[in-house]
Each structure stands twice: as C-alpha cells, then as structure tokens.
Amino acid sequence: MAGSEGRTEQPQGGESGPGRRQFLRTLSGAFLGIWALGGAGALAAYMRAPEEDHSSTDRIVRIGKLDELRIGEARLVRHGVSPFFVIRTGSESVIALSAVCTHVRCILDYDHERRGLVCPCHDGRFDLNGNVVSGPPPRALPTYEVSTRAGEVFVRV
Amino acid sequence: MSTLPKAAPATSRWDRAIDWVDDRVNLSELFSFLTHFGLIYTPIDTKRPLRDVLHQVRTTPLESYARWPHILGLLTALLFGLEAVSGILLAFYYQPTTLSAYDSTRSIVRDVMLGWLVHHVHMWGSYLLCGVVLVRMLRLFWDGLYKAPREILWFSAVGLAWLVIQLDFTGLLLPWDVKSYWAAQRGLEIVWSLPIVGPLFSTLVGGRTMSEDVLNRFYVLHIIVLPLMYLGFVYLTFATMRRVGLSRIAGAVPKLTTFRRHVSDLIVITLLLFAGLVTLATLMPYQFHGAADPYQTPKGTLPPWYMLAPYALFQLPIPRWIPGLGLLAVALALPFLPAIVKGAGERLDEKRLRMAGLGVFGLWLVLSVLGALVDRK
Ligand code: FES
C-alpha cells in the first residue's frame, strides 16, 4: 500500500522529499520489525513450559531405608519424567541409574539373573554401570550419585 | 449488472422475511461464506440482494465436483466437517488431564448415551481422512496437477496432508490409553530427531517426554489451532478452484449439471459417508487397553503408521539426525514441488517424474512395513 502511494504522488517538499520519505519508511519498517521480534520472543518465552524438577530440594530424592532394600534387588523410583532404578549391589553399595532407554525411551526392566537392565521394546541391554551391552541403544544410561545418611538412601538427580 | 437475472418479486411471507433482513444485514455476504468453503463456486456479486443471488446460483449450470476424482477434495472438506461436529460433542465430556483423560474417554464410550457412536465415528473419520488426503496427494501428483496455474492448489493439498497427520498425532494421545500413550511417545522421539524443527516443536508442546503439559497442549492444538489452520487451507483450496476451475483431463468437455443436482449429490454423499462411518464404528470399535502407566512400557507398541518409515531407520546404527534430516527435506520439498519441477526444466519429463514419485512412495511403503516389524519379536 505504502509503496504504490509513494509512486503515484508527486513529492511536494522539494529535493529533500523522496529521501525523507524513504528514510521514514525504513524507520517505520525497522520499528515494526523490532515490535514483531519482541512479540515473537515474548511468545516463545511464554510457550516454554517451566521445568518441573527445578528447585534444589527436588534434586535430592529420598528413597527410603537402606534395610528395606534387599541385596540384588532393584526399585523403580517414579520420579517425574526421569524415573530411575535404585539397586543395592552389596551390603553397603547402592547404585542409581536411569530407567529410560536411550533408544526410544521405553522404560527398562531389571533383569535379576544377568544383573543388568533390559529393554522391553527392542531388547537393548545395559549393564549396571549403564553401558550398552547389546541392542540398538546409542548411548549409555546416565547414572546418579547415591549417598547413605543414617541408614537412609538419597539420590541426587 | 442489469444483464444478471433477477429473482421474481417477493410473494410469500418467507420471501418478504428474507428481504426484510436483507435490507438490514448484507445476507449475500454471509451467503458468500458458503462459496468460500465450497458448497458452490458460482462467482456471486455480494452487493446484490440475497434472493437475486440465490436465483442466479440456482439457474447457473455448473461443473459438479461431486464426482471422481474431484470427490477426493470434497471428502477432505466433508470429513473435516464430520470430525468437527463429533469432536465438539466429545469435548463436552473429555477432560485433558493425566488423571482423568483415560477415565473420561472410557466413560464417554461406556456411560454416555450414544457416546460410543460419537467417539468411534470420530476415530474412523480420522482414519478415512488420513487415507483421503494421502490418495488425493498421489492423484494430484500423478496427473501433474501441481503445474501452473495450480501450484497453490498443490501447496494447500500438501498443507492439508501435514495438518491431518498432526491432527491425528495430537488426537492419538488424548485417550491416554497404554497403546496411544506409547505410540505418541515414539512419535515425539521421531519429531525430536528433526533438526531445528524438532526442538522448536517440543518447546511448543511442552517437552520431549510426555507430561501433563504435553497432554494439555496437544489438546489445545487438536481442538483449536490445527483445525483453524485446516479451515484456512480448505478455504485456499476452494479459492484456487474458483479462480482456475476444476481440473479435467486434456481435451475433455466439461460436464455441466444443474445446481439442484449438485446439491442433492452433496447431500447423498454426506449421508453415505455418515452411514459408512457408523457402520465401521459399529463393526470395529476402538479397543481400550487400559490407562497409560508412564513407568511401564508394554511390549510391541508402534509409532503411528505415518511415522513407521523413519522409525525403521531409527533401528540402524546411524545418528538420529540423518533420518530426521531426510524427513525434513521431503517435508519441505513437497510443497515446493512445482518450483522444483520448473527449475529442472526439460530434463524431467512427465514419465520420469512419475516414476521417481512412484519410487519414493514405494520406498516409503517398504520402510513402513519394516518399521512395523521392528517391535514384533
Ligand atoms: S527403546 Fe530400548 S531398545 Fe529400543
């Protein structure tokens, strides 16, 4: 619209007319552009859902009494979108590793006999260090730090 | 203006009522809405009174699109209408929260009077719609209907196909059934593998993994955002048709029908379609498998069928972004097919292009079958 108007009208203000008009047009374009960018930014910021496990208290998960976990037993901790296994491997040693297969995010099962994790989807297998033993998973499982205080097990996720 | 036929002067109450309203609101303009969304496509002058316009529409013979192969386009609009109506009905009871999505869907099917019918018709309608947009794209491609001046028609056919897939994908999750949950989770993984688009999309839907956020946003996309976009493309389709006319085989004479015949055809087709959907819904209802448990993956879940091909590639020991990039390239190339063909000029004759298209389609089918076999062990 503005373009055709500029062409049909005769510039009235002498020699500075077309230049000034062009300048104003660029300025308004830039102005609107900045507004559009700002709007897009605000929209994107709004659309970004707040992370669920953000607060620091959430980062340490209390699992329960050490005594309640039998040696060789694994417990699936239903922790938000990143569930993990807590496995007691010896009388004092407890490990924690992600229960989400790195292939297409199926939830792993604990294989008691082979002491590893096995995926129900495409039979991917992991050892207790999280390394891929066989199958399609492309990456090792993340492992989490476990601490025991006063007979209680905590996992830092 | 004066050459256009005028309606007879108002005699009945009904005519007078129309005239009364027409003097106060521009009814012709409202009526032209129907022309935008396909009921008729006789060009009308919205400045004239409605009864004149109707008279003109009724007496102008037109080339009906309620026939093969134009019916494919009609079905994309009609089925959408049926989906919209059944979808609105479902929304009266459905609750998009992780706790009650499954139960509310169950209760629509089990407890609400005729709820099962509405739900299953909605489901079967979506299957048919997927099939129709796919076949329509194939036929437009096969008959070369992406060439000038039909580029925009092709563009909106591709747009409609993408939208149907997204509608199906977002709708799939809503029952929060075990199968649908894990199928959608697989789908999200595939979307995530698309370079740039993947992360953008997961920002839009609230994450890479399923959660309350994702469910709610899928719902909003499914019932508001995507349908509005779909309507936009339906409009665009009929708008191109009003400008460039229906496609026809080279040299064929257009077959004209009366408006009355056209409308009765439309009604018959709608009724048949509805009857077909009801039959399918009754014979093959939706199977519930239990509420989804995000912490337990059932064996043998597949991603939705249109994602089986990239899913097959996911089983290969190559980085994810490679199939992702391939998918994105196809997705972006498809709407710009007319430009690509034009750019290639003489090197691409019709036959070769058709064969190439058929080859791509065949490859896609093979990959899809492979993808379907992945989880079957
Ligand atoms: S999802 Fe675990 S192996 Fe495929």
What sign does the CA torsion over B256, B262, B268, B272 have?
positive
Nearest-CA neighbor of B75 among B283, B265, B285? Answer: B265
User: Chain A closest CA to B360's CA: distance in Å?
Assistant: 26
Report, as an integer, the average pLDDT of A4-14.
Answer: 50
Residue whose pair of structure tokens reads 């869907």 in the numeric block: B105
Q: How many domains, in total, are found in chain A?
A: 2
- Same structural domain, A89 and A114: yes
**Whether residue A124 has its Cβ less than 6 Å from ligand 1:** yes
In the predicted structure, residue A16 carries a pLDDT above the cut 80 = no
Is residue A65 a part of any domain in this protein?
yes
- Same structural domain, A81 and A130: yes
Contact B41, B242 (CB under 8 A): yes
H helices of chain B, where?
Answer: 13-22, 27-36, 50-59, 71-91, 101-110, 115-142, 151-173, 178-192, 197-205, 212-220, 226-244, 259-283, 308-314, 321-333, 337-344, 350-373
- Same structural domain, A28 and A97: no
Residue A96 has φ and ψ, to the nearest 5°, of -135, 130
Of B189, B295, B297, the CB nearest to A78: B295
Question: From ligand 1's centre to the CA of A136, what distance in Å?
Answer: 6
Per-residue pLDDT tens listing for chain B (377 residues): 446 778 888 889 999 999 999 999 999 998 888 888 877 777 788 889 999 988 888 888 888 888 888 889 999 999 999 999 999 999 999 999 989 999 999 999 999 999 999 999 999 999 999 999 999 999 999 988 888 888 999 999 999 999 999 999 999 999 999 989 999 988 888 888 888 888 888 888 887 888 888 999 999 999 999 999 999 999 999 888 888 888 877 667 778 888 889 889 999 999 999 999 999 999 999 889 899 888 888 887 888 999 998 888 888 888 888 888 988 888 888 899 888 888 877 777 788 888 988 999 999 999 999 988 887 65
pTM given for the model = 0.87
Contact B298 A120 (CB under 8 A): yes
Using the Cβ of B298 and the Cβ atoms of chain A, whether some distance falls under 8 Å is answered with: yes
Residue A40: pLDDT band (50, 70, 90) is: very high
B69: preceding bond cis by omega (within 30 degrees): yes
- Same structural domain, A102 and A37: no
Is residue A26 a part of any domain in this protein?
yes
Of A48, A107, A136, the CB nearest to B297: A107
Nearest-CA neighbor of B240 among B101, B70, B374? Answer: B70
Is residue A140 a part of any domain in this protein?
yes
Question: From ligand 1's centre to the CA of B78, what distance in Å?
Answer: 40
Residues constituting chain A: 157
**Whether residue A122 has its Cβ less than 6 Å from ligand 1:** yes
Is residue A87 a part of any domain in this protein?
yes
B144: left (phi > 0), else alpha (psi -120 to 50), else beta? left
Contact B375 A121 (CB under 8 A): yes
CA R_g for chain A? 30
Is residue A134 a part of any domain in this protein?
yes
- Same structural domain, A29 and A70: no
Contact A107 B209 (CB under 8 A): no
Residue of A86, A101, A104 to mutate when probing chain B, most B C-beta within 10 A: A104
Nearest-CA neighbor of B303 among B131, B187, B176, B162? Answer: B187
Residue A1: pLDDT band (50, 70, 90) is: very low
**Whether residue A121 has its Cβ less than 6 Å from ligand 1:** yes
User: Chain A closest CA to B312's CA: distance in Å?
Assistant: 12
User: So what's the ipTM on this one?
Assistant: 0.74
Residue of B297, B302, B315, B377 to mutate when probing chain A, most A C-beta within 10 A: B297
- Same structural domain, A67 and A128: yes
User: How far from each other are the two terminal CA atoms of chain A, in whole angstroms?
Assistant: 58
Domain containing A134 — which CATH number? 2.102.10.10
Interchain CB contacts (distance < 8 Å): A and B = 52
Task: Give pLDDT, residue B280.
Answer: 95
The CA-based angle B79-B83-B86, given to 5 degrees, is 135
Domain containing A127 equals 59-156
Contact A81 B209 (CB under 8 A): yes
Nearest-CA neighbor of B159 among B107, B229, B93, B99? Answer: B229
Using the Cβ of A48 and the Cβ atoms of chain B, whether some distance falls under 8 Å is answered with: yes
- Same structural domain, A35 and A91: no
- Same structural domain, A75 and A131: yes
- Same structural domain, A98 and A147: yes
Is residue A99 a part of any domain in this protein?
yes
Is residue A69 a part of any domain in this protein?
yes
pLDDT tens for each residue of B268-324:
999 999 999 999 999 999 889 899 888 888 887 888 999 998 888 888 888 888 888
Residues 6+ apart with CB under 8 A from A155: A60, A61, A63, A77, A84, A86, A96, A144, A145, A146, A147
B149: preceding bond cis by omega (within 30 degrees): yes
User: How far from each other are the two terminal CA atoms of chain B, in whole angstroms?
Assistant: 72
Which of A 79-108 lie inside 8 A of B, CB atoms? 80-81, 83, 99, 103-107
Distance, CA of B327 to CA of B323 (rounded, Å): 6
The CA-based angle B97-B85-B335, given to 5 degrees, is 85
Is residue A130 a part of any domain in this protein?
yes
Domains and CATH numbers, chain B: 13-60 (no CATH), 71-303 (1.20.810.10)
- Same structural domain, A21 and A70: no
- Chain A residues lying within 8 Å of B299, measured CB to CB: 120-121
- Same structural domain, A145 and A78: yes
- Same structural domain, A14 and A76: no
**Whether residue A108 has its Cβ less than 6 Å from ligand 1:** no
